[in-house]
Amino acid sequence: MTATKRTIEHGKRDGFASLSGGGLKQDSFPLRLFAKGNAKHWNPADIDFTQDAADFAAMTDDERWQCCALAAQFLAGEESVTQDLQPFVAAMAAEGRFADEMYLTQFVFEEAKHTQAFRLWFDAVGMTSDLHEYIEHNEHYMEIFTEALPESLYALGDDPSPRNQIRASVTYNHIVEGTLALTGYFAWHKICAERGILPGLQQVIKHIGDDERRHMAWGTFTCRRHVAADDGLYDVVDERMQELMVPAMGVVTGTVDRFPEGRVPFDIDINELAEYAMDKLGRRLGAIESARGADLFVIDVDAEPEALEEQFHAEDQRELVAAAAG
Ligand SMILES: [Fe+2]
Ligand SMILES: [Fe+2]
């Protein structure tokens, strides 16, 4: 008996992926991420920010400004990614990839939790007035979050083609998460770990960083499977990275450009951050490139994108232990 090919796309459904022969492929990459995420659930409301409020009150005005600017970029960024991932969920349904759709629903939920966590932190330290001034001075930030990110994601609504999926994933997973957020976490860790301050925020960053490793791994996986299926699409990865490199670096340096060199609060070293961002980007690009010519069945279960993020994490941990000791 031959299996009937059924569709699960919205408005065209004539069957159900979960009822099909063989069931859901639990060892596929997205379902492994889904299971991992379920096991790592955390609740932002459980985090105690009492000491953070005291540490915040004890800062100098410049330090407080710098802290708010970084946290406001995160808060607005988490809200943006919560909203802007949703066209990708629909694109996976259009492609009949229910396992990816399942994983992306968890992914969206986690971004909403991240938004909640940063908002709770601002509330706890008493910053309840309008916070837009902390992001609007950074023109590159505004360009990425009000133009590049939504434009590339909502393009999937009209055309969820592999090309558009790559442009969306590079923008979302590799630039916004893989470069901007990752560099931001690194900055937070260094500020907090070296001074032993903001313990609540340290916990938030640890949980969020952990979630983000799965998000970025999914992005790498998605680009890999398209590049493995059509080698010409590697150029789309490269092209989108090039388009966003300058604004992405502008966001990183724009975070501290209000202060003269050598006077940046918390001794933030912008060159170190920029170098960190570029290194991660280059290596993630390498992981996508390694999928060129690969077998799609291998890509579907290959753990390389996950292993890469775990390796980055282990490197960061070593660096932060050294920073805390020094
Ligand atoms: Fe997030
Ligand atoms: Fe994320």
Q: Considering every ligand atom, which ligand is closest to the CA of 77?
A: 1
For residue 35, the CA-to-ligand 2 centroid distance in Å is: 17
Average pLDDT estimate for 277-297? 88
Q: What is the mean pLDDT of the chain?
A: 92
Q: pLDDT tens digits, residue range 72-121? A: 999 999 999 999 999 999 999 999 999 999 999 999 999 999 999 999 99
CA of 294 relative to ligand 1 center, distance in Å: 30
322 pLDDT more than 70: yes
* Structure token pair of residue 284: 């993630």
Angle between helices 199-229 and 162-169 (to 10 degrees): 160
User: Which ligand lies nearest the alpha carbon of 218?
Assistant: 2
**Measured between alpha carbons, how far is 58 from 317 in angstroms, rounded to an integer?**
27
**Tokens 């299971």 identify what position?**
35
In this prediction the pTM is 0.93
Helix (H), strand (E), coil (C) string for 157-209: HHCCCHHHHHHHHHHHHHHHHHHHHHHHHHHHHHHHHHHCCCHHHHHHHHHHH
Per-residue pLDDT at 1: 47
CA–centroid distance, residue 132 to ligand 1 (Å)? 19
Span from the CA of 177 to the centroid of ligand 1 (angstroms): 7
Find the 303 Cα to ligand 2 centroid distance in Å: 19
What confidence tier does 2 reach under pLDDT thresholds 50, 70, 90? low
Of 137, 132, 135, 174, the C-alpha closest to 152 is 174
Closest to 224 measured CA to CA, from 132, 133, 162, 140: 162
Distance 215 CA to ligand 2 centre (A): 5
Domains in the chain: boundaries = 48-324
List the CATH code of the domain at 48-324.
1.10.620.20
